[in-house]
Structure 1
Amino acid sequence: MDEASFLAGYDPRAYPSVAVTVDVVALTIRDGKLCVLLVERGEQPFAGHRALPGGFVREETLDEAALRELAEETGLTSGEAAGELDRVHFEQLRTYGNPGRDPRMRIVSVAYLAFAPHLPEPTAGSDAAHAYWVPVEEAKDLAFDHDQILADGLERARDKLEYTPLATAFVGTDFTISELRQVYAAVWGEELHAGNFHRKVLSVPGFVESTGETAARGGERGGPKAKLYRAGDARLLHPALLRPTREDRVR
């Protein structure tokens, strides 16, 4: 059957209506805390409730829709700011389609994880009254099923730091092991033993490499200087840097 013949006999009313949206778990570190971007919904359903940024997919790909929503809420839409999107770690997280997750109709949402070291103050998009960064431990009672989506996004980000060198993207080009440890502590939400962390990082081939230089970091001029490192060429960490709680389970 050719396309014209098929369309002639096609009745869309015979099929259930399904819409597709995207939701974005955008994470960054602000003042040493892992924060998530939330919006205050300006429209029903859940008007006035906090939610993850997102919206309906238009005539675009899923990736394009998610990047558009992220750009709208963060203000990374033009000029120099648009270049900041290149520094965002961006990946598809999961698909959520349980019946009743949205009271309007059957809506399937494709969630994305966006993770960057520095993102600007947000600017609410067209369907949001406000947008702001919130420490992840304070992001609760969100609209729709966004509590679950956020939990899944956090777990994905924490896993990424165990098995990949993603954390090196959130420090400067040259950094100290202490600065790298602060990234891990913020994302994992756990204090890390400085000596143990230092030893583990240097035991992973290709994770970091010494620059041969030192610099004062966070201390008074003339104080002790710390060795500087840069990201190595490893794409996966072996052995992995497991979270302390996960190490206990492995043993």
Structure 2
Amino acid sequence: MTDHPQIAVSTVIFALRETDDQALPALWMPLVRRIRAPFEGHWALPGGPLGIDESLSEAARHNLKATTGLAPRYLEQLYAFGDPARSGDQRLVSIVYWALVGNDEASRSEADDNVCWFPADALPALAFDHQLIVDYALWRLRNKVEYAQIAHRLLGETFTLAQLRSVYEAILQRPLDPANFRRQMAASKSLAATGEMQSGARHRPPRLYRYVEVPGTTPNPWA
């Protein structure tokens, strides 16, 4: 093992996607296939070494852009992983970020033989301890969904109640009663009607909402 630890920056990216064979929208994430040892051929989180002149967040954004073409608006430091045995004979400490992107942004990401999107709960075998990292990120996400801003990052500036409910359902992995969800959102006082309607609806167009800042946090009744 080398005397001095190496520092890398990796990112867990979550996006909401709908597929024909799923009853509910699901969280998906991009992975990058490793082209060198160790774990050559295995899938891994997007990332790379920390540049000497880069900040941690700059490295995360640079690596994401280079590997997936994504430039997420929401990027937050998640945790540091540095078990001595996580990378064989080289001591490697990974500073991990997580990002949330909307489906429109995710659809513009790069994908090829070495970059592919997978359901977050059905990933292939991952390199290093990246499965542990993903599990931790999912745990944090499902506990943090009580904060309105998390669901907002997977949508956009405006959204319908049905779209918002689909985010909660995807994160919590279970359907929610629409009427009860509407009542809980109204009680939270975290939403404001924009006065506009969703365009392109076949029948009565649903209202569009946006998030408003609420002092403190709003308990999540579905967690």
Query: What TM-score range do you get, normalising by the shorter chain?
Result: 0.7 to 0.9
How far apart, CA to CA, are the structure 1 residues paired with 2:173 and 2:216? 22
The structure with the largest alpha-carbon Rg is 1
Structure 2 matches for 1:1-251, cutoff 5 A? 16-31=3-18, 32-59=25-52, 60-76=54-70, 85=71, 87-117=72-102, 118-119=105-106, 120-123=108-111, 130-205=114-189, 207-215=190-198, 218=201, 220=202, 223-234=203-214, 236-238=216-218, 240-243=219-222, 246=223
Would the aligned equivalents of 2:100 and 2:154 in 1 still touch at CA under 8 Å?
no
Contact 1:40 1:50 in 2 (8 A): yes
TM superposition shift of 1:215: 4.1
CA separation in 1, counterparts of 2:159 and 2:147?
A: 20
Structure 2 residue aligned with 1:12: none
Instruction: Report the Cα distance in structure 2 between the residues aligned to 1:109 and 1:173, rounded to whole angstroms.
Output: 32
1:72-95 Cα deviation digits (max 9, x unpaired)? 12224xxxxxxxx3x521111111
Structure 1 residue 162: deviation in Å?
A: 1.1
- Offset at residue 217 of structure 1 (A): 6.6
C-alpha separation in 1, matches of 2:48 and 2:64: 10
| Cα displacement string for residues 151-190 of structure 1 (whole angstroms, at most 9, x for unaligned residues) | 1111222223212332123334332111110111122222
TM-score (norm 2): 0.85
Which structure has more relative contact order (CA 8 Å, sep 6+)? It is 2
Contact 1:38/1:53 (CA < 8 Å) preserved in 2? yes
Give the secondary structure class of the aligned counterpart of 1:137. coil
1:214 deviates by 3.7
Whichever structure has more helix as a proportion of its residues is: 1
Amino acid paired to 2:60: A
Question: Amino acid of the residue matched to residue 99 of structure 1?
Answer: P
Query: Does the aligned pair in 2 maintain the 1:165–1:236 contact within 8 Å?
Result: no
Q: How many residues align?
A: 212
Match of 2:21 in 1: none
Unaligned ranges ≥5, structure 2: 19-24
**What SS does the aligned partner of 1:138 have?**
coil
Aligned AA for 1:182? S
User: Structure 2 vs 1, CA of residues 213 and 88 (structure 1 numbering), >3 Å: closer, same or farther?
Assistant: closer
The separation in 1 between residues aligned to 2:137 and 2:187, in whole angstroms, is: 28
SS of match in other structure, 2:183: helix
Shift of 1:216: 6.3
Q: Give me the CA root mean square deviation.
A: 2.1
Indicate if the aligned counterparts of 1:49 and 1:142 stay in contact, CA closer than 8 A: yes
Cα shift at 1:110: 0.8
Q: Secondary structure at the match of 1:141?
A: coil
Mark the CA change 1:89 to 1:34 in structure 2 (over 3 Å): closer, same or farther.
same
Amino acid at match of 1:135: P
1:164–1:236 contact (8 Å) kept in structure 2: no
